[in-house]
Amino acid sequence: ASNRTFTMIKPDAVEKGHIGGILNMITEGGFRIVAMKLTQLTVADAQKFYAVHAERPFFGELVEFMTRGPIVAAILEKDNAVEDFRALIGATNPAEAAEGTIRKKYATSIGENAVHGSDSDENAAIEGAFHFAGREMF
Ligand code: CMP
């Protein structure tokens, strides 16, 4: 397995002032920040990023949500990064997220769930390269 994953702190969490709290949980969880920026997805970016969900009934809502304000995009490094980060963020639905997870603490709903974590090594590489040039990775 690759040792990198990609994350976004989503607009809901940025709006509520949770960037610092979430970054603290990420670094306390043993992840090293390789790349990071405050940015905003365009509608085209979000449609491309979530293309796998294009046929889902919530797709329009998802694109609108993810483009409504700035996000923090970051590449993270740790052994077993993809799997360990998904454990740290918790279930998609915060009502099902385990105690001690980022979504348990900061997510409000299944849609506005505070953070993204890549679901595979392949997608982590694609998603990271979408946001960062090689010279922005440390
Ligand atoms: P994530 O798993 O990061 O990527 C897909 C996103 O789709 C997911 O987070 C949620 O934000 C969103 N999503 C999944 N299921 C639903 C749903 N039933 N209603 C609204 N949004 C959803």
Could you tell me the pTM of the whole model?
A: 0.96
pLDDT tens for the chain, 138 residues long, are 689 999 999 999 999 999 999 999 999 999 999 999 999 999 999 999 999 999 999 999 999 999 999 999 999 999 999 999 999 999 999 999 999 999 999 999 999 999 999 999 999 999 999 999 999 999
Residues tagged in the binding site annotation for ATP: 10, 58, 86, 92, 103, 113
Alpha carbon of 129 to ligand 1 centroid (Å): 22
Give yes or no for residue 33 CB within 6 A of ligand 1.
no
Q: Give pLDDT tens digits for 77-93.
A: 999 999 999 999 999 99
All structural domains of the chain with their residue ranges = 4-136
Q: Residue 36's beta-bridge partner residues? A: 74
Give yes or no for residue 18 CB within 6 A of ligand 1.
no
Q: Give pLDDT tens digits for 49-59.
A: 999 999 999 99
Give yes or no for residue 93 CB within 6 A of ligand 1.
no
Alpha carbon of 59 to ligand 1 centroid (Å): 8
Q: Catalytic positions, please?
A: 116
Question: What is the ipTM, given to two decimal places?
Answer: 0.92
The closest residue, in CA terms, to atom 10 on ligand 1 is 111
Class of domain 4-136: alpha beta
